Amino acid sequence: MTNPIHTCIQPQPSEVTAQLERINNSVALGRSKVNRKLVSYLVDYYLSSIENGQIASAPKEIEIATNALGKGHDFNPAEDASIRVYISNLRKKLELYYQNEGQDEAFQITIPPVWIWT
């Protein structure tokens, strides 16, 4: 018996941004400006990496804090776990989206748990 070959086709940036808009307007994200800013920043970061021919990597926690959520440059992730909490909550909201409103999406935008920013 042979193993099936799984292929992964990279969605076009326009498809990703269209899905991002649906997520940002979803019931799952609700009225949370933080979740919308956060998912938008992470998707933009990913798309920018791909556009520049790089392998997408996780932004540093300080980058998320300052660039996405408006924290000051004195933000210290060692003393403030808020970014990790926001990311954890966003993961749950994305799961909720794909279980309900987004169940027919062709692909899923996910935040891998290995994205622990330091």
Question: How far apart are the C-alpha atoms of 117 and 99, rounded to whole Å?
Answer: 27
What's the pTM value of the predicted model, to 2 decimals? 0.85
Distance CA 85, CA 104 (A): 28
Distant-in-sequence, close-in-space partners of 12: CB < 8 Å, separation ≥ 6: none
Which residue type occupies 26? S
pLDDT in tens, 2-58: 455 555 678 899 999 999 999 999 999 999 999 999 999 999 999 998 888 877 778
Domain boundaries, the chain: 13-99
